[in-house]
């Protein structure tokens, strides 16, 4: 069974018989059920009873229910409240709007709204560039999705995607002080792929005057490629598809530091990527730009090769620049001898035997969310470096290391786009955030809570924007 995690955290309010050993029996039952007690928030004696607040972590939703049944069956234990802490955190949403200026009297009102605001409107009408300085546009990003490729959940629609987009906005604000807001677009299920692209592009272009940047999120391939390309062409503000480029930036940073540990070079690597969607394609491109010469990508039908007749346009372009040896077969067939595995696909696709067939000191980045291609417990002792996309394991390859600093730097520099040079600069800054004397197989990327990362990335990105000549 997977390890308990805060993603499946439960808050218990229990009433125990006020006798010796009652709390101990509860703790033993929780432990024997495979859950982990992470907090005791105090108790209150009420005559013959003892009320206790307990926080436990479980492994998944079914595990929560099994633990609940165990506790319910205990003598002398009554469950007063049983609450899923993750759902409690999301109740009512995770973000809101705050005023940046006070409105205390008539003078404040006259400046913030009528009649004074008309002067500011007129100034922008005369010179549209002033909108970047006189409105929220200077520090605001739209998080755009149609809900067709959310996490590892697939096409769940715009409404169901909203908690993820809210979370993204929360991270933007918490880590980089960027104001971001979800824009979840309803593309009808019976629309053609071209219609979906057109709907997203037109919607974003029409609302773009409000925003200083566009963060594309959880849009299924191949539509996401066309959406990004069209928006980059039509808009004069940064457009960044985080599933593609954010993931790629952090992956490159993690690989750069991993190679320092195993003593290998980019140009000598054989890399196998599981997943040929947005993230897989972007990762392959940035790794090849960094010097990797042998990349083989697999989708659900096996290795991407030029002779396959079932490839969409994006995969055909991909096939033309990858798989130089022309190998074919399923993932298990192409993995033997590989130095690096990068997973951006789905859960439980690899086994311990697969890892044993890789090259010496294999590097394994199993980044599928919420469940990786192989769990670290199964890879223990086999992978020289192991990373996932999860926060409850070491080496979380998490986009939050990239996108807040990238947008912070782009907005500060007044950039009109995100260039390849800016992405590479971001990767190098993330890698450099781990000091050489702290680099270990369990520490190849900085913590997402290391607030210096945003500063380093922002500075590197802003400098690259100046170098690349894309500042407003």
Long-range Cβ contacts of 113-116 (<8 Å, 24+ apart)? none
Q: Is 393 a catalytic residue?
A: no
Q: Which two tokens stand for residue 439?
A: 């680099």
Q: Is 113 a catalytic residue?
A: yes
The residue from 8, 46, 94, 113 that is catalytic is: 113
| CB proximity list for 295: less than 8 A, separation 6 or greater | 271, 272, 273, 284, 287, 288, 322, 323
The residue from 168, 264, 285, 423 that is catalytic is: 168
Angle at 76 between CA 70 and CA 80, to 5 degrees: 70
Query: Which residues participate in catalysis according to the annotation?
Result: 113, 168
């Amino acid at each position: 069974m997977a390890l308990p995690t805060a993603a499946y955290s439960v808050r218990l309010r229990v009433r125990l018989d006020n006798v010796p050993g009652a709390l101990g029996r509860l703790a033993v039952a929780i432990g024997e059920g495979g859950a982990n007690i992470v907090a005791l928030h105090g108790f209150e004696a009420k005559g013959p009873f003892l009320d206790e607040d307990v926080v436990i972590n479980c492994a998944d939703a079914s595990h929560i229910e099994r633990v609940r049944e165990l506790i319910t069956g205990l003598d002398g234990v009554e469950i007063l409240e049983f609450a899923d802490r993750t759902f409690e955190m999301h109740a009512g949403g995770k973000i809101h709007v705050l005023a940046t200026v006070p409105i205390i009297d008539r003078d404040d009102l006259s400046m913030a709204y009528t009649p004074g605001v008309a002067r500011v409107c007129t100034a922008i009408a005369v010179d549209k560039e002033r909108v970047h300085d006189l409105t929220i546009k200077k520090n605001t990003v739209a998080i755009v999705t149609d809900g067709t490729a959310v996490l590892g959940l697939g096409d769940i629609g715009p409404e169901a995607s909203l908690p993820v987009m809210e979370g993204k906005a929360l991270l933007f604000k918490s880590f980089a002080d960027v104001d971001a807001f979800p824009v979840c677009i309803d593309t009808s299920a019976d629309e053609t792929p071209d219609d979906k692209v057109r709907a997203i592009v037109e919607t974003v272009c029409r609302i773009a005057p409000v925003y200083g940047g566009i963060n594309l999120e959880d849009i299924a391939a191949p539509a996401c490629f066309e959406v990004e390309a069209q928006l980059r062409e039509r808009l004069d503000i940064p457009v960044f598809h985080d599933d593609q480029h954010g993931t790629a930036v952090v992956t490159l940073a993690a690989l750069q530091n991993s190679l320092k540990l195993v003593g290998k070079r980019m140009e000598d690597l054989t890399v196998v990527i599981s997943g040929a969607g947005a993230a897989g394609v972007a990762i392959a491109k940035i790794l090849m730009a960094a010097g990797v010469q042998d990349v083989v990508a697999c989708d659900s039908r096996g290795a991407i090769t030029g002779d396959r007749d079932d490839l969409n346009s994006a995969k055909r372009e991909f096939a033309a620049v990858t798989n130089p040896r022309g190998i074919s077969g399923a993932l298990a067939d192409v993995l033997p001898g590989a130095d690096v595995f990068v997973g951006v696909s789905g859960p439980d696709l690899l086994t311990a035997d697969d890892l044993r067939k890789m090259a010496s000191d294999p590097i394994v980045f199993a980044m599928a969310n919420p469940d990786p291609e192989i769990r670290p417990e199964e890879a223990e002792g086999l992978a020289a470096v192991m990373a996932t996309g999860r926060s409850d394991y070491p080496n979380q390859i998490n986009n939050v290391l990239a996108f807040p600093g990238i947008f912070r730097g782009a907005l500060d520099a007044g950039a009109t786009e995100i260039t390849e040079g800016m992405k590479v600069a971001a990767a190098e800054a993330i890698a450099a955030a781990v000091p050489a004397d702290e680099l270990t197989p369990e520490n190849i990327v900085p913590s997402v809570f290391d607030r210096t990362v945003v500063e380093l990335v922002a500075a590197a990105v802003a400098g690259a924007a100046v170098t690349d000549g894309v500042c407003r």
